[in-house]
Amino acid sequence: MSAGDLAEARAEFERGNLLGAFPLARRAVERDPRNPEALWLFAKLCEAGGERATALSLLRAAAELDPQNDSVRVALEGLQQSADPDEAQRCYAEARRRDPRIAIHTNAMSFVDPPVDGEVRRLLERAIEADLAFAPAHAAYANVLLRGGDLSGSLRSLVRAVTLDENDAAARLGLAQRLHLAGDDARATFHLERALEQQTTYSEPALRSSERRLLAVCAPGFWERSVPLDLVLDRDAWNVDKWYAQREDLPDRGYEIAVNAIAEPDAGALAAAAAYFSDAGLPVLNQPAAVARTERAYLCTRPLAHAVVPRTVRAARAELREAVASFDGEVVVRPGGSHKGEGLQRLSAAGEPDRYLETTPAQEFYVSAYAEYASNDGYYRKYRILFIGGRPFPYHLAISPHWMVHYFSAPMAQHAWMREEEAAFFRRFDALFDGSRRAALDEVNAALGLDYFGMDCALLPDGRVLVFEANANMLVHDAEPDDRFAYKDEPVARIFKAFAQLVERRANRRAKA
């Protein structure tokens, strides 16, 4: 019980046993976050441990709950009396001038940005030291930590920022996305919903001086549901407004072009986006009707002469056994809306659907025929190809001894021959995917009609192109772990350049009209 934890914590605190009191007080706050006494005690323990910013956040929350509490007031005044808001503002402004990205909290992909310059980090640390209550410095410091690979530290800083300024919806949205990255979806969903209740449009200024404005229409959810524009868009050139399409509250800000970043074909937000686009008179990349065609069961219904797309059906939970039984041979099952292989399994025996259902609470599934695609050497190869304005670009080749291939888990770093083969894939792409293979790429592109999307595929032993999936939210980035992958720099740069040129062409077409 919270009362028991609090009483024990206070007793240990009064005995001077701060280490013993700390976990008890923390548990008391977790169980009753609106108890001013618990907040005060935990704040005192945090302050004693050097976590002055956390202590300040807790004391502010306690003071709001109980303004007449003298213990809270005295402790709060003690922490605030040495504050220098002007110095905090000066240091923060200089840090932001040196690296504008630190003030952009809604970029869920900022962990792939290069680490922050040491002086920027020191400026933010001085800002926080000068005024513990200055929320923007904590939010910016969270971005510094994330770009340095410290997700846990980034979360702690963002929690402080949001606690200090509950009205900072951008910081709250950033917190939601990072909690999702950390696997804490219960807390992530809470903050996501709160952020989108506060506002649905978030502005991200261009990194260099620019008057140009681009609208990105996003799905009101976590980052996997939208095109990762932060990774491919020229952020020096464009001021971006991200609209999480769920309400008709989008202001007219003189956009030159819109990108429909909604990438989930089942997203209800597609209807809101389509309604807006029909009246906006803007050039649009990835029209909603085209995104709807990326539903996993769509391509296998198209009359494709060259691409091999395994039969795929959609099934509710109660229909899964029947759906699996309708296939001859092995199948691959995945929950609807899943990403990165989550819940993906290969089933072969009659009783396996029942065992599979015991592993997941999902209510909808996609069931696909399994096609064996191992090469003659026993390894599995998955090619990722990006389509930009109808033209295919190679992005990566992942090689694995396992049939479920993901680049992040494939042993590419351990084997030089794998990296050499991937480098050859870039050099020889047009030769490898020529003739009927190029025809397979072209007919998938024509069937979907998207301006920008990615396709994962393999080459079957007979040479035909086996399509795994094609959608608009496949990750593309240039944040490779070390110089062993430097051969990828030029091919990825070509993708970024092609996307920038596509955006320019469409925007300029409107300007000339």
pLDDT in tens, 401-440: 999 999 988 999 999 999 999 999 999 999 999 999 999 9
pLDDT band at 230 (very low <50, low <70, confident <90, very high): confident
Q: 169 to each of 35, 197, 289, 406, 445, how far by Cα in Å?
A: 25, 9, 31, 34, 38
Q: Average pLDDT, stretch 182-189?
A: 93
Q: Is the pLDDT of residue 512 over 60?
A: no
Q: Which of 6-10, 53-57, 104-108, 315-319 has the lowest mean pLDDT?
A: 53-57
Residue 150: pLDDT above 70?
yes
DSSP string for 73-108: HHHHHHHHTT--HHHHHHHHHHHHHH-GGGG----T
Contacts of 372 (CB under 8 A, 6+ apart): none
Mean pLDDT, the chain, whole residue set: 90
- Helix, strand, coil: what percent of the chain each, to 5? 50, 15, 35
DSSP annotation string for 269-327: HHHHHHHHHHHH---EES-HHHHHTTSTTTGGGS--SSEE---EEEEEGGGHHHHHHTS
Is residue 511 scored above 70 in pLDDT?
no
- Those residues whose C-beta lies under 8 Å from the C-beta of residue 135, and which sit 6 or more positions away, are 160, 161, 162, 164, 165, 168, 171
If one counts every other C-beta atom within 10 angstroms of the C-beta of residue 178, the result is 26
> HSE of 193 in the Cβ direction (CA atoms, 13 Å)?
6
Most confident of 79-83, 84-88, 383-387: 383-387
Output the six-digit token pair for 377: 């050497």
Specify whether the CB–CB gap between 4 and 28 falls below 8 A: no
Count of residues making up the chain: 513
Mean pLDDT is highest, among 66-80, 310-324, 327-341, for 310-324
CA dihedral (258, 263, 265, 268) in degrees, to 10, reads -60
Task: Name the token pair of 509.
Answer: 């077409």
pLDDT digits (tens, 9 = 90+) for 451-504: 999 999 999 989 999 999 999 988 888 877 789 999 999 999 999 999 999 999
d(CA 79, CA 75): 6
> Contact 105/174 with Cβ under 8 angstroms?
yes
- List, in order, residues 6 or more apart from 292 with CB less than 8 Å away: 265, 270
CB 334, CB 359: distance < 8 Å = no
pLDDT at 1: 43
Reference 297, options 397, 355, 364; nearest CA is: 364
pLDDT at 138: 94
Q: Residue 89: its pLDDT value, please?
A: 96
pLDDT for position 513: 54
Overall average pLDDT of the 157-171 stretch: 91
- Helix pair 36-48, 70-80: axis angle to 10 deg: 30
Please give the order of strands across the beta sheet that includes 312-316. 312-316, 364-369, 331-335, 345-347
Residue 264's pLDDT is 85
Q: With bands split at pLDDT 50, 70 and 90, how would you rate the model's confidence at 249?
A: low
